[in-house]
Structure 1
Amino acid sequence: MGDFFKFFPWGKSLTFMFFVFVSFIFWILQCLQQSFEIEIDIPLVFEKIPNNIILIDSLAGTINVRVFDRGTALLSYSLGKKMQPVFIECSEKDIKNNFLVISKNQIQQELSKQLLATTQIVSYFPSDYSYAIETMQQKEVPISIVGEISLSDAYMFVDTVFVDPPRILIFGSTEALSKCNQIFTEDVHIEEVDVSFKKELKLLVPKNIRVEKDFVELNVDVTAFTERKFSIPILCKSLPQGYQIQFFPSKVDVFYQVAQDKFNEIDASEFEIIFDYQDLIEENRLSVPLVLSKRPSSLRKYRIVPDIMEFIIERNIR
């Protein structure tokens, strides 16, 4: 056995193997220059399906495509990265006679975006993209925020907390829509807010109802405030001639919250407490609670001290 390995013609054998390997490489390269057909599977995603339809048939999840190209190009499909999905956009114009119909031209255009420029599409399966549908009814309902938002000390809401959009289109059967008069957001609890913010909230959609969007934007606008005070006289209108009225007290203090950057924008003349003489007579009592008859539109919280006044109506004697 030792003599066999000693006298074996290793040099000639290695030379032979080298030429076999080189020949194999040239054969591979020659094959890659030729054109072939192969099949590739591409994920299929349908987008923007109209909300007012229900699909009876299941949508295709992949599309099997037979393509023709040179071997070097086809090698990139076999050994390259995973094929990216083909996105098919749907719209109302694709609905025909209770079917969602995607045209072959649209399919081929979207497929071509995923393939090399030299690659030809021979065929694809499934070849028909018509899906039976049912049309739903629709109506618009308000969106209600669920939860509570509390402020830090010395902060106030600049405006009402709201979601955008405040109303939303919902879709479903006539029976399902009759039972749904509003859509609620997910529960939100935020404490000690001292800065304005926006937050995306998920909508809680009832069973058998579809919505045009799944999320809305919560808008919370806050600002630091300070408290200010004005002394306001109590007035009476429509007082008959020959009568006079005395209020106790004749003036009250109005305390209100105002944003620090708007402190000097509000004037005492924007506040009034006016009673109608006839209303006071009909009250048939000598003391009444106080409310502002006139106030700035931006004013949200205020208090009157004291908040009850007494009065005496006297007839002038000549």
Structure 2
Amino acid sequence: MSTTFKKQLSDLINRVHDLITSTRGREILLFLVFLLISYIFWLLLTLNNEVQEDLEVPITLTNVPDSVTLISDVPPSLKVSVRDKGSSLVRYSWGEVPTMKINWDNYRHSSGKFLLGTADLNARLRDYFGANSQIVTITPDSMRINYTTSPGRRVAVKVNADVHPALGWTVFGPVTANVDSVWLYSVDDLPHSLNSVETVPIVRSGLKDTTKFDARIEPIPGVRIIPDRIILTVPVEPLIARKQYVSVIGKNVPNDYTLITFPSKVEVSYLVPMSEFNSEPYVLKAYVDYNEARHARNGKLKVTMSLMPELYRNASMTPDSVEYIIEPKRAQ
């Protein structure tokens, strides 16, 4: 510890001691002591009085057989307004609220329903909070859960996505999901025509990299879908500029004539996905039409390209027209 720090600490301690031992300091200290005593008395009185608290009680179902599939959602918690002495409720207000466990076998019905009525739920909460507690309100005030023990049906997942890349990027490849099928469960028989499900529509634009989305399966009334959410992957790549030279070919040229162009090749520029930049270029062809020569007024013919591969974007050609001469072939 440096000498400077020791001196600063000693000065601080001396200033605090002078403040406490001064008349003003003793008055402040006395005020704080009385304030603390007042708070303790207020707390004791409050804990002894009857109060009403709004609490959120987490719940869980226990002893649910593996063969059971819940069709309805189980609420994660109950919102309960309870009246009791403050000393009884303080542990719920200030501490962690324990989970209330509900035994599946106690409320299961053979009709494919789990029923926990208002009276039973009220009794369970009184046991949870204590016999002297008074349950004022419960939300929800009962639990009705449909379930099935029948095997599910596996169906295909169709992706409903409208995604667009940012300028200079491209979606290169299909949008894929982490699963290709899901399971459907229902209390009633599923229609035979139900052989696929679809994701909730996803619309995104301005993508600048391969992106993953959390997608929800479109709900079906009365049907449990497992899993009900999937991960979609949109492959996005930057576009890279590439060039290649293409020979100009004359078409519709009579057999006894030769069409010569200047230059004999044109430069074709286009953008390709980065993963395709080092791949072998497609064979491209450039054409001039002999039949257009009779209409050409500036001594040039327009050059047209063959069909471009789909992955070649924003293609351009330089020059887009060429000079030419037509010569008769020499007799052999």
TM-score by length of 2: 0.40
TM-score by length of 1: 0.42
